[in-house]
């Protein structure tokens, strides 16, 4: 499970347990992350570290903090910008300037953190989307760093899946692949042949650090109504090397007007000889 998202032990509403965490409802964990991490802007390496930590904070994706001395001081310009966190203290900011590339207030640090977060002293963080590229060892990482406590499991299933928009059946399958991902509802991925609705290619593309690049389609109903970007697919050649290959080429549905029904097992005996 993720530590901070969904029902994780550091989330705002953790799963039931036989123990209690003595502390505030908003929880923070500062964990070593010894992988080599680099951030690049304008062809210059802004950060190069093997001494980073991940800051796990309730209901927030992990944030990478690295020793300030692992950032190139020649690229940093202090600014007057500040912010306040009730759990960590007052943050100071720096702009990153690399040639003609400028990232305003892209770096922050708690130079005098609150006593309850004093381990942040000497560390700084960077806004992910203000850098040109990030690398974990020599692999480029897009989207955000992968949470070491986040799981993605794809399992072939014989459960019946029906996708509806009102009274219209958009897809129906007895051979889905069910995707179980930390903090998210079950997603059903179906063969294209089991889709009844007309799919219209969309220009929308998204990236998931755990699954890869997704292409989208809109679903056109018989009455001509179009459900924009209701269907997506992770193509085989776009998946990460360690992504869930079982969903490659399959489609999944998500839209405010779409209901995905996954049947409950009925009297299925598993592992009984």
Q: What is the DSSP string of 205-259?
A: EEEETTTEEEEEEEEE-TTS-EEEEEEEEE-GGGS-TTS-GGGTT-EEE--TT-E
Q: At which of 140, 168, 201 does a domain end?
A: 140
> CA geometry: angle at 108 spanning 67 and 71, to 5°?
40
170 shares its domain with 110: no
User: Domain limits at 236?
Assistant: 152-262
Q: Is residue 147 part of a domain?
A: no
156 shares its domain with 112: no
**Any bridge partners for residue 19, and if so which?**
none
Total domains, the chain = 2
102 shares its domain with 206: no
162 shares its domain with 92: no
pLDDT at site 272: 37
Q: Is residue 71 part of a domain?
A: yes
Which contacts qualify for 230-235: CB closer than 8 Å, 24 or more apart? 230/254, 230/255, 230/258, 231/195, 231/199, 232/206, 234/208
32 shares its domain with 134: yes
Q: Is residue 98 part of a domain?
A: yes
Are 165 and 221 in contact by the 8 Å Cβ rule? The answer is yes
Q: Which residues contact 196 (CB under 8 A, 6 or more apart)?
A: 169, 170, 171, 172
Mind listing the pLDDT tens digit of every residue in the chain (273 residues)? 577 777 777 777 788 877 777 667 788 899 999 999 999 999 999 999 999 999 999 888 899 999 999 999 999 999 999 999 999 999 999 999 999 999 999 999 999 999 999 999 999 999 999 999 999 999 899 888 888 888 899 999 999 999 999 999 999 999 999 999 988 899 999 999 999 999 999 999 998 988 989 999 999 998 999 999 999 999 876 666 566 889 999 999 999 999 999 998 764 444 433
135 shares its domain with 41: yes
Q: What is the arrangement of strands in the sheet containing 101-109, beginning at the earlier edge strand?
A: 28-33, 52-57, 60-67, 123-126, 101-109, 89-98, 76-85
Q: At which of 140, 171, 205 does a domain end?
A: 140
CATH code of the domain in which 212 resides = 2.170.150.40
């Amino acid at each position: 499970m993720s530590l901070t998202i969904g029902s994780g032990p550091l989330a705002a509403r953790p799963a039931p347990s036989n123990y209690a965490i003595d502390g505030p409802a908003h929880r923070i964990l500062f964990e070593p992350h010894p992988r080599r991490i680099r951030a690049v802007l304008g062809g210059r390496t802004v950060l190069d570290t093997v001494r980073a930590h991940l800051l796990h904070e309730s209901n927030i994706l992990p944030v990478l903090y690295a020793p300030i001395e692992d950032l190139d001081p020649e690229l940093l310009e202090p600014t007057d910008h500040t912010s306040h966190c009730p759990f960590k203290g007052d943050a100071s900011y720096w702009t990153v300037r690399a040639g003609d590339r400028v990232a305003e207030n892209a770096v922050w640090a708690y130079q005098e953190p609150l006593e309850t977060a004093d381990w942040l002293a000497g560390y700084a963080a960077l806004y992910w989307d203000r850098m040109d590229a990030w690398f974990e060892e020599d692999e480029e990482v897009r989207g955000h760093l992968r949470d070491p406590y986040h799981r993605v499991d794809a399992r072939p299933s014989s459960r019946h899946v029906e996708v509806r928009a009102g009274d219209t059946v958009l897809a129906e399958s007895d051979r889905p692949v069910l995707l179980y991902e930390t903090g998210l509802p079950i997603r059903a991925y179906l063969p294209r042949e089991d889709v009844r609705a007309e799919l219209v290619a969309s220009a929308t593309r998204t990236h998931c650090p755990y699954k890869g690049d997704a292409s989208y389609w809109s679903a056109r109903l018989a009455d001509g109504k179009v459900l924009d970007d209701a269907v997506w697919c992770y193509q085989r050649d776009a998946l990460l090397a360690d992504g869930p290959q079982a969903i490659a080429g399959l489609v999944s549905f998500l839209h405010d007007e779409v209901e995905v029904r996954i049947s409950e097992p009925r009297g299925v005996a598993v592992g009984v000889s």
